[in-house]
Chains A and B, each alone.
Chain A
Amino acid sequence: MKQVPVKLEHNGKWMSLKIGFEEDKIIIPEPISEEIKIKSIDDIEEKKNMLIISTKNNKNFKLASVPKVLLILKRIILMGCSAYRLTAYFMSPAIRGGVMISSAKWEKGAIAVLNTGIWFVSKEKQICIPLDEVSGIDLTKREVQGKESDVVQINHIENDEVVTSFVLCPLTTLQILFNYLKDTTKDLDVSAGELDPVSAQVAMLVYSGMDTHAIENMINISNKQIESIYDKLIKTGLVEVVMTRREVKLTTKGVRFVSEAVKT
Chain B
Amino acid sequence: MGRILVVDDTMFMRTLLKNILFSGSHDIVGEAEDGEDAVTKYKALKPDLVTMDVVMPKMNGIEALKAIMTEDPNAKVVMCTAVGQEQMVKLAIKTGAKGYIVKPFQAPKVLEEVNNVLNS
Contact = CB atoms under 8 A, between A and B. Distances in A.
Contact of B104 (A98, A100, A138, A161): A98
Interface stretch (B14-22, B60-68, B69-77): B14-22
B107 A99 contact: no
Interface in A127-160: 138, 140-143, 153, 155
Contact of B15 (A97, A142, A153, A218): A218
Given A100-B100, A218-B15, A209 B87 contact: no
B37 interface: no
A162 interface: yes
Interface of A: 95-100, 138, 140-143, 153, 155, 161-162, 164, 201, 204-205, 207-210, 214, 218-219
B12 A201 contact: yes
A208 B107 contact: yes
Interface in B31-67: none
Given A143-B90, A201-B12, A98 B109 contact: yes
A29 to B, nearest CB: 47
A214 B18 CA distance: 12
Given A138-B84, A218-B16, A218-B19, A95 B102 contact: yes
B105 A98 contact: yes
Contacts of A208: 16, 20, 104-107
Interface of B: 12, 15-16, 19-20, 83-84, 86-87, 89-90, 99-110, 112-113
A97 B105 contact: yes
A39 B113 CA distance: 45
B106 A214 contact: no
Contacts of A207: 104, 106
Contacts of A99: 99-102, 105, 109-110, 112-113
Residue picked from B20, B86, B90, most chain A C-beta under 10 Å: B86
Contacts of B16: 204-205, 208, 210, 218
Contacts of A140: 84
Given A98-B101, A98-B103, A208-B107, 14 more contacts: A97-B105, A97-B106, A98-B102, A98-B104, A98-B109, A99-B105, A99-B112, A100-B101, A143-B87, A155-B83, A164-B83, A204-B12, A208-B104, A210-B107
B94 to A, nearest CB: 12
Nearest to B23: A214
Nearest to B18: A218
B38 to A, nearest CB: 20
Contacts of B104: 98, 162, 204, 207-208
Nearest to B13: A204
Report, nearest first, the 4 A-B pairs whose CB atoms are least far apart. Answer: A98-B105, A97-B109, A97-B106, A209-B107
